[in-house]
Amino acid sequence: MNLRTVVTLSLSLLVASPAVFAGATLDGITQSKQLVGVLMENYPPFSFLNEQNQLDGFDVDVAKAVADKLGVTLKLETPSWEVIAAGRWQGRYDMCICSMTPSAARGQVFNFPVEYYASPAVIVVNADESSIHSASDLSGKKVGVGSASTYEAYLNKDLVIEGANTPIDYPFSQIQAVPYDNEIVAFQDLALGTGKRLDAMLTNLVTANERIKHDPRFKVVGKQLYSEPNVVATEKGDPQWDARLTQVLADLKSDGTLTKISQKWIGADITQ
């Protein structure tokens, strides 16, 4: 076989088998026809178990839309947030559409190919609480947060949000951050009364409003603390997969799918 034949054969294989040159993640999804996503089980309205004991919510619908665009089936896994946020998934999950905020620490183990919505962080207290009006009033208080969350980093005064254009303000002294594996338990503890297990909580404004809509025992106080971009997260090492996800999310934004999902679950468009 002469050199010209070898080159011609190599080019033919390149055209006929593009998946061979894709990254491991994209190649696996293409071959298995299955996309494995990871998210939280108790984070309404983004992800939660509905009355039929099925995963539902904003993040769930976005993940489904991505799978539909790719022409594959979707499988969702729900480990603890600590497992999700620790990364180093070793191929167990293909993507996290799970309301993750990028940070310098997370950037060590994840790629963040695309932002798909943004939301502000706020303080939640009991409806009859009268001494906490802003972040400066949290000094010396017990404040509930999601474990390994950006809210916990904020209370520890070491939050770094990648791409943030303004510095983060910490108008408080020492705070006792109380981490929870899921926010449902934190809200339950806060509802016991100020000063018992918690004095306040830090959470997402959308999540807070969803809770307050169904439970008037709580209220949001003070101004927004900072705004969080929420991104799709992937394991490092597959730029082809990151590029494909970026294109899919761009298509879902341009064709109005993300807006429809946001209006359905949030009542407003938080994807723009």
Domain with residue 114: its CATH number is 3.40.190.10
Q: Do residues 91 and 47 share a domain?
A: yes
The CA distance from 83 to 91, in Å, is: 14
Q: Do residues 114 and 208 share a domain?
A: no
Tell whether 1 is covered by a domain: no
Yes or no: say if 128 and 195 are a contact pair by the CB < 8 Å rule.
no
Q: Do residues 188 and 239 share a domain?
A: no
Q: Do residues 97 and 221 share a domain?
A: no
pLDDT of residue 164: 61
pLDDT of residue 6: 39
Q: Do residues 222 and 156 share a domain?
A: yes
| CA-to-CA dists, residue 177 to 98, 102, 141, 155, angstroms | 23, 21, 8, 6
Yes or no: say if 37 and 77 are a contact pair by the CB < 8 Å rule.
yes
Number of H helices, E strands in the chain: 9, 11
Yes or no: say if 75 and 34 are a contact pair by the CB < 8 Å rule.
yes
- Burial code (b: 16+ CB inside 10 Å, e: under 16) for 183-213 equals beebbebbeeebeebbbbbbbbbbbbebbee
The CA distance from 8 to 21, in Å, is: 17
Q: Do residues 214 and 133 share a domain?
A: yes
Q: What is the pTM of this model?
A: 0.76
**Domain range for 65:** 23-118+230-265
| Number of domains into which the chain is organized | 2
For strand 200-204 and strand 142-146, is the pairing parallel, antiparallel, or unpaired? Answer: parallel
Tell whether 175 is covered by a domain: yes
Provide block-wise average pLDDT over 10 residues at a time, the chain (272 residues). 40 37 81 97 94 97 98 97 93 96 90 93 97 97 94 93 76 96 94 97 92 94 91 95 97 98 91 86
